[in-house]
Amino acid sequence: MTYRLAIFDFDGTLADSFPFFLSVFNQIADQHGFRRIDITQVERLRHYEPRDMMRHVGMPPWKLPLAAASFKTLMSENAGQVRLFPQVDHALRELARGNLELTIVSSNSEYNVRQVLGPELASLISQYECGMSIFGKTSRIRKVVKRAMVEPAAALYIGDQATDAEAARKAGVDFAAVHWGYAPIEVLRKVAPEHEFERPGALVAISTLQANR
């Protein structure tokens, strides 16, 4: 059985927003009272899972929504600084020509997602579930699957962090890891993704992949 529903994460999966995230992180840290990061240590920090990163900078869980809101506001004010990864636009167009439904589940705001995609690509996405905590994607994935009227086994969530894999598994859908996102692929392999994509252009293969469940 091939997949009928592709559910995409956005930041680090479709959009190359990590440089912007780094550029505003210390500003947000100062605003909300947690520790700054040393930019020279970024490659090491990319191996941290989100909960480990929060502990590293001394961010209690209750501050996460505040910090996330600040990031989304800054991104909305500087949307022109964030671009899609090369070939993502081509991949989305090709996938939309088939029988695969394209959706997005992202902790970023729907406004920011649409701004970066642009009107044409945004129109290819049938459902947007946005703005939740990075730890709150499971219920949104389930909602997207239910609305698409497919079995969870026919859905694939594509993301770039271990929390994406965790959400997918809880929702009963397969997970595909990308090689170009926030977390290095060696970190994502620890959660045993059903599929991997080495480059953004390879996303076109989603429509021909066999579901593993």
Question: Is there a single domain that holds both residue 56 and residue 155?
Answer: no
Question: Is there a single domain that holds both residue 150 and residue 162?
Answer: yes
Question: Does residue 110 carry a pLDDT above 90?
Answer: yes
Question: Is there a single domain that holds both residue 45 and residue 9?
Answer: no
Residue 168 lies inside a defined structural domain of this protein:
yes
Residue with tokens 């029988």: 99
Report, as an integer, the average pLDDT of 37-44.
86
The predicted structure's pLDDT at residue 204: 96
The predicted structure's pLDDT at residue 201: 95
Q: State the chain's maximal CA–CA distance in angstroms.
A: 50
The predicted structure's pLDDT at residue 98: 86
Residue 127 lies inside a defined structural domain of this protein:
yes
- Which band of pLDDT confidence, cut at 50, 70 and 90, is reported for residue 73? very high
Question: Taken in order 92, 180, 146, 106, is the CA torsion positive or negative?
Answer: negative
The predicted structure's pLDDT at residue 210: 80
Residue 201 lies inside a defined structural domain of this protein:
yes
Quote the Cα angle for 43-179-17, to 5°: 65
Question: Is there a single domain that holds both residue 116 and residue 178?
Answer: yes
144: domain CATH number is 3.40.50.1000
- The pLDDT tens digits of the residues spanning 172-182 come to 999 999 999 99
- Which band of pLDDT confidence, cut at 50, 70 and 90, is reported for residue 41? confident
More confident residue, 47 or 15: 15
Domain count of the fold of the chain: 2
Residue 76 lies inside a defined structural domain of this protein:
yes
Report, as an integer, the average pLDDT of 54-70.
90
Helices (H), 78-136: 88-96, 110-122
The predicted structure's pLDDT at residue 213: 60
Report, as an integer, the average pLDDT of 103-115.
97
Using alpha carbons, select from 123, 128, 125 the residue that is nearest to residue 111.
Answer: 128
Question: Is there a single domain that holds both residue 117 and residue 52?
Answer: no
- The pLDDT tens digits of the residues spanning 86-100 come to 999 999 999 999 889
Measure Cα distances from 2 to 35, 142, 154, 211 in Å: 45, 19, 7, 6
Domain finish residue from 61, 81, 101 = 81
Question: Is there a single domain that holds both residue 119 and residue 189?
Answer: yes
Q: Which domain holds residue 154?
A: 5-16+82-208
Q: What is the mean pLDDT of the chain?
A: 94
Residue 182 lies inside a defined structural domain of this protein:
yes
- The pLDDT tens digits of the residues spanning 134-170 come to 999 999 999 999 999 999 999 999 999 999 999 999 9
Question: Is there a single domain that holds both residue 75 and residue 149?
Answer: no
Residue 213 lies inside a defined structural domain of this protein:
no
- pTM metric for this prediction: 0.94
The predicted structure's pLDDT at residue 197: 98
Question: Is there a single domain that holds both residue 11 and residue 22?
Answer: no
The predicted structure's pLDDT at residue 39: 82
Question: Is there a single domain that holds both residue 188 and residue 96?
Answer: yes
Quote the Cα angle for 203-147-179, to 5°: 20
Question: Is there a single domain that holds both residue 98 and residue 37?
Answer: no
